[in-house]
Every structure is written in C-alpha cells, then in structure tokens.
Amino acid sequence: MSDSLRLSCPCIQAPPHAALYNAAGTGYIQQSFTFTCECGFEITKNTLGAFKFVRDLVKDDLGSSLDSHLAYALFHTHQGHSRYHLYIRGTLHTPTNKVHIERARLVKKNIMQSRVFRSDRRGDNSGPKLQGLEWENQILGLVEYSLDRIQAHAGTKMKGGGGKL
C-alpha cells in the first residue's frame, strides 16, 4: 500500500502525489486535507470535487466507450449504434423511479444553460465551441476552483424545475 495519492492539478501535466496522512493533519485521508502543488496551486477536497464535477459535466455523451472517471453512464442501442449516455452523479435514480432518464437529462440540460458552463462562453464569442480540457479549465477558472461557486451557478438553473430537480 502506498503512503501517497496521485492528485489532479490544473497547472501541470504530471500529477503530484500527496501524503495520505501526516503529523500536521493535512494528509488526504485527514479532516484538514490541503496540498500545495509545486506550481503553487493549493489542492483541497473542495478543489478536487470541483475538478470531478466539471470533468463529468463536460464529458461528451455520444462516446462509444466507457471512461472509468465518468459520473454515470447508461448503455443504449439506437438504430444499430451503441452509445453511452452520460448523466451527472446522483441525478438518474430517484426514490420512486429506479432509472429516471428524463430527469437526468433535464438536470444536465438546465445546468449547461448557465453562462458559466456553456461551451460557447468566450470573451469575443467567435470561433468553435470549447471542448475537453480547454472547456474544463475555462469553467474552473470562472468558478475559481470552488465547489460552492459551482453549486451556486448550477442552482440558479435548477430552480426552473420547481427546485425539485
């Protein structure tokens, strides 16, 4: 078993390793986790949550293979084509409906309508839509790598569904 965990950092390609535990109480499995990357970026559970949510949100839902980092994928076959449809974690299942596809699609669609999450959000509004890592980095920069800010922006679009989405 390793004494460290590989983390995600927005500034560098090679993921840094953080201690699982340490005397200061700032190891990954400890309550006050914090790690400063060699680039100077401070990684916390909040920033890791922001990375995960944004990565799940911008994943293309027309893929033909399953990525182990996806929030949730449901395999469909339509007109002879097999595709995974991706949904945000916690939106597909409800207490009254085991697989509530319409709700999951509505949640993702509503969140994606926020100005922060749209792929066409650029200063000059020209050129192709953002994709992949470029799109992720733009969103993370706009929300300042904060899960609380993500929740606030996503929440404004969730109210359209009566706040019950």
In this model, does residue 70 exceed pLDDT 70? no
Q: What is the C-alpha to C-alpha distance for residues 59 and 57, in angstroms, rounded to an integer? A: 6
pLDDT tens-digit readout, 105-140: 888 888 888 888 887 765 455 667 778 888 888 899
- pTM comes to 0.74
In this model, does residue 2 exceed pLDDT 90? no
List of residues 6+ apart from 60 with CB closer than 8 A: 86, 131
- Residues of the chain by 3-state class (helix, strand, coil), percent to 5: 30, 15, 55
Check residues 21 and 72 and name the one with the higher pLDDT.
Answer: 21
Express as a percent the part of the chain with pLDDT over 70: 73
For residue 49, CA distances in Å to 53, 75, 86, 147, 149 come to 6, 25, 18, 6, 12
Q: What confidence score (pLDDT) does residue 105 get?
A: 82
Q: What confidence score (pLDDT) does residue 114 get?
A: 85
Q: What is the C-alpha to C-alpha distance for residues 83 and 103, in angstroms, rounded to an integer? A: 19
Q: Where are the beta strands (DSSP E) in 49-129?
A: 72-78, 81-87
